[in-house]
Structure 1
């Protein structure tokens, strides 16, 4: 069966920044990543690269920022006085916070703390990067009606939700 809309795909992947050997993320050595194809679970460029692949296929894909996590926007990085954070017990670099902006609440990451200033960045950590994926398609099957209705893959092709739907469903 080929990967197409409303199929459940299980895959192993490894992702790196283009031209670098350091692995950013990987499912290798663990459970494969399973998702319903065509529901926006993956970045657009990787989803497009997977179309029509089958179980057993392995491939590599280079995904540019516009088809991954977007371009990096300098305007989303700000240097703020440290006293803005007085209401927080402890702050550290790498910490993610919710911030009120003109566009509503947004996640930001503290990227630098120096002297009396804190730099926060609202860009996705992988924004602006061209990414290299190595993918192994483990399995492809039709999604069940229940999976499509719930919007996620169930552990088994049969129902994983009890009669009250509380076992795995929101």
Structure 2
């Protein structure tokens, strides 16, 4: 069996920046489970995994356009401290969920100066080339329920 649309794949992975900085790894944890063809993982990684079989190992470099996109400076804004109701102390590095025209968006506080807070709505990995080292651990057909819900259920997946 190969990784293709409507199959569930479980992978072990390590992802670093092109400069070698560790971003994330499944080492010491369960493999990552995803439903192929349902945008469960970044497009560049999913397309590199298409057609792979259990036991295959690969290293793939994913450009920002096929990962979390390029940085967009229009997503960096200054907002008043009063926009953070119920938060006693706002500091750089804090993250919040904000409502945007496209739905909920993660924002990161980058600077606090007096009554002004600079926030960045870019994904933290936007504009960064990523290098994945992957081993395919398991592949199986998705259940009807997984296909209807668009994600993996059970071990390594979503629990309802």
> Does the C-alpha gap of structure 1 residues 148 and 85 become closer, same or farther in structure 2, counting only changes over 3 Å?
closer
Query: Larger Cα Rg: Structure 1 or Structure 2?
Result: 1
The normalised TM-score by structure 2 is 0.86
State the partner residue of 1:31: 30
RMSD value over aligned CA atoms? 2.2
Give the C-alpha shift of residue 119 in structure 1.
1.4
- Cα distance in 2 between the residues matched to 1:143 and 1:2: 13
Aligned residue pairs total 158
Deviation sequence 1:96-124 (CA, Å, 0-9, x none): 22335566653311122245432100101
State the partner residue of 2:142: 143
Give the C-alpha shift of residue 36 in structure 1.
1.0
State the partner residue of 1:5: 5
Deviation sequence 1:128-167 (CA, Å, 0-9, x none): 11111111110111112232233332326xxxxxxxxxxx
- Structure 2: tracts of 5 or more residues without a match: none
Asked whether the 8 Å contact 2:95–2:107 carries over to 1, the reply is yes
- Cα distance in 2 between the residues matched to 1:105 and 1:89: 22
- Bigger drift between 7-16 and 140-149 goes to 140-149
> Does the C-alpha gap of structure 1 residues 105 and 5 become closer, same or farther in structure 2, counting only changes over 3 Å?
closer
- Bigger drift between 59-68 and 110-119 goes to 110-119
> Does the C-alpha gap of structure 1 residues 130 and 100 become closer, same or farther in structure 2, counting only changes over 3 Å?
same
- Structure 1: tracts of 5 or more residues without a match: 157-167
State the partner residue of 1:68: 67
Secondary structure, counterpart of 1:45 in structure 2: helix
State the partner residue of 1:46: 45
Structure 1 residue ranges, 4+ long, deviating more than 6 angstroms after superposition: none
